[in-house]
Amino acid sequence: MISEFQDLSDKIDRLAQLAQSLRSENYLLRQANALLSAENVDFKHRLIAAQQRVEAMLAQLEPPAPAEQDPTPDDSEAAR
């Protein structure tokens, strides 16, 4: 009977240690998650800023729209 109580006591001790270990691991994972979330937000802001800069450069590089051309052939083409 005493041996059964000792086994139960040992199991309870191991369970308590495991629970504490899991709490510690959970705390560390939550910290890492918060850090990565903040880093992700920063990367998103940087990506948006880069996209805006690229769009601004592309707008500067776009040639002006060509003027509408007259669909009727000119005299030099009609002479051919």
pTM, two decimal places: 0.58
- DSSP of 5-21: HHHHHHHHHHHHHHHHH
pLDDT level of residue 44 (50, 70, 90 thresholds): very high
Asked whether residue 30 carries a pLDDT value surpassing 90, the answer given is: yes
Asked whether residue 78 carries a pLDDT value surpassing 60, the answer given is: no
Give the pLDDT of residue 68: 72
Strands of 18-70 (E only): list them. Answer: none
Asked whether residue 79 carries a pLDDT value surpassing 80, the answer given is: no
Could you give the C-alpha distances from 33 to 19, 40, 41, 51, 76, in angstroms and in order? 21, 10, 12, 26, 73
